[in-house]
Amino acid sequence: MSPAARVSKVGVLGAKGKVGREICRAVDEADGVELVAEVDQDDTLQTLVDTRAEAVVDFTHPDVVMDNLRFCIEHGIHAVVGTTGFDDERLETLRGWLADAPGVGVLIAPNFSIGAILMMRFAGQAARFYDSVEVVELHHPDKADAPSGTARRTAQLIAAARADAGLGAAPDATSTALDGARGASVDGIPVHALRIRGMVAHQEVVLGGPGETLTIRHDSMDRASFAPGVLRALGAIGERPGLTVGLEELLDLA
């Protein structure tokens, strides 16, 4: 395998899961890549070697993903990973394995939604220009956590950008408030969570200064929204040896 080739033969790990099935369909329909292996929990990883897979997409489970990745790295197969549960220790382990496998690329990404990534990035870039900023997220009412992980990360990025720019707290003359009216504070940024039947996953960042406001909104209506991000990652991973954390690193954002 040449170290910087664009991959074309792709295997999917966790192929029968909800996300996995979408990924299989997307790889199957996309130009330039070919779905050569659909691996789920009762299947052997050897299939990847037999089918000459050049890269895998892994949406499996924290319990098995490290074994999957060791196998892939040892066999020179790139990996695009959406499975959760990567802490610093796991990332360090991966770096160690990859040091022995020059040319192999692994991407670990908590979020493959390009829209969510752009929303966070734009919110971070705009934050230093505005006096005020708050985050509103809206999800289906079966969600267990409030606010969402994406909303928390967005608020943290905004708070860091404001701190870098030397901005203090946003103006707020509230002196009489009902409990909770002003939302949760994440690093000082108010975050509001709505739970509405019929919604899927939506987020709005509202920024304002004298006489104007800027609103960045992301609406995710369907699991299909992960597919373009995975395909972009597959298009880039062959030319990105070593460990990459976060899809944004592969998007060539200015």
Residue stretches of the annotated binding site for (S)-2,3,4,5-tetrahydrodipicolinate: 140, 149-150
**Cβ proximity to its own copies, 49 vs 114, nearer residue:** 114
**Cβ proximity to its own copies, 70 vs 143, nearer residue:** 143
Q: Could you say which residues in the range 176-195 bind its own copies, by CB under 8 A?
A: 176-186, 190-195
- If binding is defined by CB under 8 A, does position 175 make contact with its own copies? yes
- Greatest extent of the chain over all pairs of C-alpha atoms, in Å: 68
**Catalytic residue, candidates 78, 139, 192, 202:** 139
* 9 annotated active-site: no
Q: Which residue matches tokens 């074309």?
A: 8
- If binding is defined by CB under 8 A, does position 147 make contact with its own copies? yes
Instruction: Kindly report the length of the chain.
Output: 254
Q: How far, in Å, CA of 196 to CA of 204, rounded?
A: 15
Q: In Å, what is the CA distance from 127 to each residue of 135, 155, 208, 240?
A: 12, 10, 9, 30
Q: Which of 117, 111, 104 is nearest to 56 (CA)?
A: 104
Q: Could you say which residues in the range 28-47 bind its own copies, by CB under 8 A?
A: none
Structure tokens at 19: 């996300």
- If binding is defined by CB under 8 A, does position 142 make contact with its own copies? yes
* 143 annotated active-site: yes
Phi, psi of 160 (to 5 degrees): -65, -40
Q: Could you say which residues in the range 89-128 bind its own copies, by CB under 8 A?
A: 113-115, 118-119, 122, 125-126
Tell me if residue 118 falls in helix, strand or coil: helix
**Cβ proximity to its own copies, 29 vs 74, nearer residue:** 29
Binding residues: 14-19, 40, 82-84, 109-112, 140, 149-150
How many alpha carbons fall within 13 Å on the CB side of residue 104?
Answer: 25
Q: In whole angstroms, how close is the CB of 168 to its own copies at the nearest point?
A: 13
Tell me, what amino acid is at 43?
D
- If binding is defined by CB under 8 A, does position 168 make contact with its own copies? no
- If binding is defined by CB under 8 A, does position 64 make contact with its own copies? no
Give me the active site residues, please: 139, 143
